[in-house]
């Protein structure tokens, strides 16, 4: 198979981790006889610095033409700490998700048996965790009207959801549950929010077409507790953009390191694959960033194109790195292996 892959390294550790995924894709090419081409585009702080724009038109065009996009990470504290900035890195990612129509962000949280003891949570509750979060990615308060009063003394964000937006991701979530443990948990705040009440109504009505799947509803405050106390109760979690952002980062605690969790962002025409971690500017260039989240995101890319054998081979190589303790310091504090070495090991073991 031939794939054109757009590569957006972004900021901080983005370039370092994406480099490992590309190494692994080269190895997949060789082992399985595929051909991948990579074209890089600017995004985030690096794009602002070079072009003034966190998502230059060339980058958007590149992603639109590509078969899929591999994304690193973005963000730099100098922008966070400047509340008067007119442009900041995250705008690039948010606009890209919207322009590509990536409405579902799929975030699996699985505890690898060899890493169970890495989790700070009790073994009993984490070892059976195998859940996937379906986070709505192109609507909600992320994209609603925003405003600030002229005298700068009052600000507003708007959260809007339509039945159509809720419906398309709900079907994805229920279809996924069908091939899994047959349970969907809708997370919302229906005792406060009108949008949550719309979610409940739409999801409940769609659930009737999936009689083999159980639907459960949880308030976000309770869900944030349950994710820690008893994550193995979940199968598919379905939620909006903001709640999904919070819950899925929390999921990283279960797995033992945020450097392990991949995600796929999909729409009708495009797909992008991105680790859930951020750009960790403090770690940049130190060769300590964990490349596994990026590599597993790349494995989701392969799966997206039905290269299941290839995807399994990548995951197997990652598991081998865990078994041999060829891991970065976030996993074993005392580890002497760097980003590059771990990437090489995994690439060499794709077979």
Residue 161 within binding range of its own copies, rule CB under 8 A: yes
Q: What is the DSSP string of 54-65?
A: SS-HHHHHHHHH
Give the per-residue contact string, 49-88, with its own copies (x = CB under 8 A; - = no): --------------------------x---xxx-xx---x
Q: 237-266: which residues touch its own copies (CB under 8 A)? A: 242, 245-250, 252-253, 258
What's the Rg (C-alpha) of the chain? Answer: 20
Compute the least distance from the CB of residue 273 to ligand IPM, in Å.
12
Total interface residues for ligand IPM by CB under 6 A: 9
Give the per-residue contact string, 178-217, with ligand IPM (x = CB under 6 A; - = no): -------------xx-------------------------
Distance in angstroms (rounded) separating the CA atoms of residues 166 and 257: 30
Distance in angstroms (rounded) separating the CA atoms of residues 330 and 47: 29
Residue 90 within binding range of ligand IPM, rule CB under 6 A: yes
Compute the least distance from the CB of residue 37 to its own copies, in Å.
32
The structure tokens listed for 117 are 């003891």
Tokens 């960790």 found at:
280
Residue number with CB closer to ligand IPM (14 or 313) = 14
Residue 11 within binding range of ligand IPM, rule CB under 6 A: no
Partnered with residue 36 across adjacent β-strands are 3
Distance in angstroms (rounded) separating the CA atoms of residues 243 and 344: 36
Q: Please give the residue whose beta carbon sits closest to ligand IPM in the complex.
A: 90
How many other CB atoms are there within 10 angstroms of residue 110's CB atom? 18
Q: 105-124: which residues touch its own copies (CB under 8 A)? A: 120-122
Residue number with CB closer to its own copies (29 or 90) = 90
Residue 213 within binding range of its own copies, rule CB under 8 A: no
- Alpha carbon 111 to its chain centroid, in Å, reads 16
Compute the least distance from the CB of residue 94 to ligand IPM, in Å.
6
Laid out side by side, the sheet with 271-273 consists of 35-41, 2-10, 68-73, 271-273, 264-266, 104-110, 130-136, 236-239, 183-188, 214-219
The structure tokens listed for 61 are 């065009």
Q: Which residue stretch of 58-66, 87-95, 126-134, 292-300 sits at the interface with ligand IPM (rule: CB under 6 A)?
A: 87-95
Residue 221 within binding range of ligand IPM, rule CB under 6 A: yes
Sequence-ordered list of residues with C-beta below 8 angstroms from that of 200, at least 6 positions apart, any chain: 186, 188, 190, 217
Residue 128 within binding range of its own copies, rule CB under 8 A: no
Residue 140 within binding range of ligand IPM, rule CB under 6 A: no
Half-sphere exposure for 216 (CA within 13 Å, toward CB): 15
Distance in angstroms (rounded) separating the CA atoms of residues 67 and 206: 31
Closest Cα to residue 68, out of 312, 342, 307, 313? 307
Closest Cα to residue 240, out of 99, 101, 141? 141
Residue 334 within binding range of its own copies, rule CB under 8 A: no
Residue 93 within binding range of ligand IPM, rule CB under 6 A: yes
Residue 225 within binding range of its own copies, rule CB under 8 A: yes
Please identify which residue in 12, 72, 75, 259 interacts with ligand IPM, judged by CB under 6 A: 75
Distance in angstroms (rounded) separating the CA atoms of residues 77 and 75: 7
- Strand duo 264-266 + 104-110: pairing: antiparallel
Give the per-residue contact string, 287-326, with ligand IPM (x = CB under 6 A; - = no): ----------------------------------------
The residues binding its own copies (CB under 8 A) are 75, 79-81, 83-84, 88-90, 94, 120-122, 125, 141-142, 144, 146-148, 152-164, 189-195, 197-198, 200-201, 204, 217, 219-222, 224-225, 228-229, 242, 245-250, 252-253, 258, 278
The residues binding ligand IPM (CB under 6 A) are 75, 90, 93-94, 191-192, 221, 245, 276
């Amino acid at each position: 198979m031939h794939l054109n892959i757009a590569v957006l390294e972004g900021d901080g550790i983005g370039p370092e981790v994406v480099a490992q995924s590309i190494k692994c894709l080269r190895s997949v090419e060789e082992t399985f006889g595929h051909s991948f081409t990579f074209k890089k585009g600017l995004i985030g702080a690096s794009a602002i610095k070079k072009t003034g724009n966190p998502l230059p038109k060339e980058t958007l065009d590149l992603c639109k033409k590509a078969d899929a996009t591999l994304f690193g990470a973005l963000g730099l504290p100098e922008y966070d700490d400047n509340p008067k900035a007119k442009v900041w890195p995250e705008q690039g990612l948010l606009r890209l998700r919207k322009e590509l129509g990536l409405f579902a962000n799929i975030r699996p949280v699985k505890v690898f048996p060899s890493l169970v003891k890495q989790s700070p949570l009790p073994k009993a509750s984490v070892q059976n965790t195998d859940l996937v979060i379906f986070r709505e990615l192109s609507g909600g308060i992320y994209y609603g009207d925003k405003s600030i009063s002229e005298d700068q003394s009052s600000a507003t964000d708007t959260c809007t959801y339509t039945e159509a937006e809720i419906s398309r991701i709900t079907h994805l979530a229920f279809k996924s549950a069908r091939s899994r443990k047959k349970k969907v948990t809708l997370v919302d705040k229906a005792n406060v929010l009108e949008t949550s009440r719309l979610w409940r109504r739409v999801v409940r009505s769609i659930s009737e077409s999936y009689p083999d799947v159980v639907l459960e509803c949880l308030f976000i405050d309770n869900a944030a507790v349950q994710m820690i106390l008893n994550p193995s109760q979940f199968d598919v979690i379905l939620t909006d953009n903001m709640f999904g952002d919070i819950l899925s980062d929390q999921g990283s605690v279960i797995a033992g390191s945020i450097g392990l969790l991949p995600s796929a962002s999909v729409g009708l025409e495009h797909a992008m694959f991105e680790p859930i971690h951020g750009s960790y500017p403090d770690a940049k260039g130190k060769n300590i960033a964990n490349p596994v989240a990026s590599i597993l995101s790349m494995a989701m890319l392969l799966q997206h194109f039905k290269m299941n054998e290839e995807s399994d081979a990548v995951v197997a190589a990652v598991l081998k790195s865990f078994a041999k303790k060829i891991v970065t310091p976030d996993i074993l504090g005392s580890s002497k292996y760097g980003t590059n070495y771990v990437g090489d090991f995994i690439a060499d073991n794709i077979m």
